[in-house]
Structures are given as structure tokens and as C-alpha cells.
Amino acid sequence: MPKKNKKSQDRKIANFLYEVGTMRKLIRAHRQVLLTDDLSDSISSHSYRVAVIAWFLAKESGADPYKTVMMGILHDMGEARSNDHNWVHKRYVCIHDEEIQKEQLGSLPYPDLKELVDEYEERTSIEAILAKDADLLDQVLLLREYEWQGNKEAALWLRGKSKEKKTGNAQLSRLKTAVAKRIGQVICSESPSNWWNSLWTSKNRK
């Protein structure tokens, strides 16, 4: 490859990485309707946990962990340009996702990232289905964390509003795979602080 073309490609990669970094600054829009001011819940932090969840779902299902994790990382990449929108915003806002993906990922030196996002959006491969379930499970985790803190709105989102749904879970019904539903049920019954209960000590280690 000519040196001039290589420099142009490197510039595209560098600019894309700067754009990826801006996702740390984008706070997720549901904080408006969840009545919480959680500034730690960014598009970037969400995508990170989605990717980790995706790895476990892929391993449990015998799917391709690389593809599933990469879909988890990239699934909201377009929001660096369109921003996040909650379900009230979506009533009034039109987002040109295909145009964003073409200009954002389609202009990169390698076609792989756009191909992964296209596959994710089609939602036909097991990896794409698992990646979407990972996206939903991160929301379940977040709502459970907020519910644990006493957020009544989060509890309604998580458990459902009708009396019939209070014993069930409104979010789990959106999951497609058995493994995601299984893990989701445990998430909803587990205390968000249980992970450190066996680790804490009042004494410094010598």
C-alpha cells in the first residue's frame, strides 16, 4: 500500500477512535423518565457490560464469542452521532441509522465492523440474537440496581405495572434465548451487593 494511502487510513482509524471516546460523555436518555441522575450510566459503560454479558451468553450457547462480543461493543456505536433517545423521544424523532452506519463504519479501512453491525440489525444469526439479549440483560441489571436503591419507577419497569405482573418480570419477556432468560431470573432475585459479601473485612491485609 502506498505511504500516502496508509497515512489516510491511519487518520480514519484515529478519528474513529476519538469518536468512540465521545461515547463516555453521552449519558443514556432513560434517566429522564427513570427519575434518576446517574451520570455513570453512559453509552460507553452500557456497551462495556453488554459485551461482557454477550461473552457469557455465547459461551453458554456454543456461539462465536468474538462476533457476539463485538456486536455488543458496537450495537450503540451510531448513538455517537444520533445520541440516545428514550421511548418518549422516539415518538417524535426520526433517526437515519443506515446513513449513520454507512458514513461512520463504512468509511473505515476494514469492512468487518459494518458487517457485524449489519448482522446485528438483521437479528437472524444466533450471535445477533444473543447480543440483543445481552443488551436487554444489561437493562435488567441496571433496573435491579436502581430498584435495590429504592427507585419505585425502576421497580415498575422491572416487575411490571399490573397486579398480575408483580410476581413476574416485565423485562424477561423480551428475551429470546433460554440462557438469557435463565440468567435474567437469577439477576432479578439476586442482591446487587452479594458479590462482595464474602470479601469484606475490617482489617487491612498484612
What is the average pLDDT value for the chain, to the nearest integer? 93
Phi, psi of 48 (to 5 degrees): -65, -50
Q: Is the pLDDT of residue 48 over 60?
A: yes
* 186 close to 142: Cβ distance less than 8 angstroms: no
Rounded to an integer, the average pLDDT of 27-54 is 95
108 DSSP 8-state letter: S
| pLDDT at residue 169, as a whole number | 83
Q: Give the residue, 48 or 168, on which the prediction is more confident.
A: 48
Instruction: Give the residues across from 42 on adjacent strands.
Output: 27
Q: Is the pTM of this model over 0.75?
A: yes
Closest to 188 in 3D by CA, of 150, 149, 153, 147: 147
User: How many Cα atoms occupy the beta-carbon half-sphere of 96 within 13 Å?
Assistant: 5
* 61 close to 177: Cβ distance less than 8 angstroms: yes
- Residue 127 and residue 117: Cα distance in Å, rounded? 11
The band of 114, judged by pLDDT with boundaries at 50, 70 and 90, is very high
Classify residue 27 as left (phi > 0), alpha (psi -120 to 50) or beta: beta
Summarize pLDDT for 154-202 with one digit per residue, the tens. Answer: 999 999 876 545 556 889 999 999 999 999 999 999 999 999 988 888 8
The band of 5, judged by pLDDT with boundaries at 50, 70 and 90, is confident
**Structural domains for the chain:** 3-192 (1.10.3210.10)
* 169 close to 190: Cβ distance less than 8 angstroms: no
Rounded to an integer, the average pLDDT of 39-55 is 97
| pLDDT at residue 10, as a whole number | 94
| pLDDT at residue 4, as a whole number | 67
Q: What angle do CA 141, 117, 66 make, to 5 degrees?
A: 70
User: What is the sign of the dihedral through the CA atoms of 101, 20, 120 and 46?
Assistant: negative
Q: Is the pLDDT of residue 1 over 70?
A: no
Beta strands in the chain (DSSP E): none
Rounded to an integer, the average pLDDT of 15-26 is 96
